[in-house]
């Protein structure tokens, strides 16, 4: 049975793949002069608007499918939360705050983007988060946000928000399983560090 990914692309060299994406031998030559180092931003900037749109859409669809595969599993640990959310927010240039609502069987009910911020901060309203969790019928949840800087260490604001979320969730008998900070290289877990 043929699938979408049954093709020759996985056997192509980087040079051949770049040519498939760009259809431009000059770009392939320019990249070869850089000792084979591929600057994806430069590669995408060199595409025609139509090719760029298709390439970005294909990458986004791939990220979503990666996250969806994890979404079908049970969520037990910070690693599970990281694998679920890293494809969606791990390489963003601005901060986003998400909530993952989970049921008693440790299955995801839904994941919700709560806020979008700037380069080094985003705000999250505890009341809105509680409303999302209550409406979803969540028994537990994970808070997740990214740090575009690549530094996974929590800020004082991150610590304060985590404390507020835990206290609010306790009132509604919803367990906060973790707050995970995601970067493009890894993650920080409040639970793993004994802070929950």
Residue 74 banded pLDDT, cuts 50, 70, 90: confident
Q: Which comes out higher in pLDDT, residue 1 or 79?
A: 79
Q: Which backbone phi and psi does 108 adopt, to 5 degrees?
A: -70, 130
Q: Is a pLDDT exceeding 80 seen at residue 167?
A: yes
Mean pLDDT value of segment 14-30: 76
The CATH code for residues 75-189 is: 3.40.140.10
Cite the residue boundaries of each domain of the chain with CATH code 3.40.140.10.
Answer: 75-189
Q: Which backbone phi and psi does 111 adopt, to 5 degrees?
A: -120, 135
Q: Which backbone phi and psi does 101 adopt, to 5 degrees?
A: -85, 130
């Amino acid at each position: 049975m043929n699938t979408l990914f049954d093709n020759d692309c996985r056997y192509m060299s980087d040079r051949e793949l770049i040519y498939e994406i760009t259809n431009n031998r000059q770009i392939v030559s320019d990249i070869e002069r850089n000792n084979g180092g591929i600057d994806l931003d430069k590669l995408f900037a060199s595409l025609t608007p139509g090719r760029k749109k298709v390439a970005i859409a294909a990458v986004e669809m791939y990220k979503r499918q990666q996250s969806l595969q994890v979404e079908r599993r049970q969520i037990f640990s910070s690693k599970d939360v990281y694998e679920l959310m890293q494809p969606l927010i791990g390489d963003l240039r601005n901060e986003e705050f998400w909530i993952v609502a989970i049921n008693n069987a440790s299955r995801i009910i839904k994941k919700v983007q709560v806020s979008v911020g700037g380069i080094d901060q985003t705000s999250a309203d505890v009341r809105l988060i509680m409303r999302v969790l209550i409406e979803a019928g969540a028994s537990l949840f994970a808070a997740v946000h990214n740090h575009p800087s690549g530094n996974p260490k929590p800020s004082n604001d991150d610590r304060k928000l985590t404390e507020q979320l835990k206290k609010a969730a306790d009132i509604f008998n919803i367990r906060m399983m973790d707050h995970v900070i995601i970067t493009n290289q890894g993650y920080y877990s409040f639970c793993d560090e004994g802070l929950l």
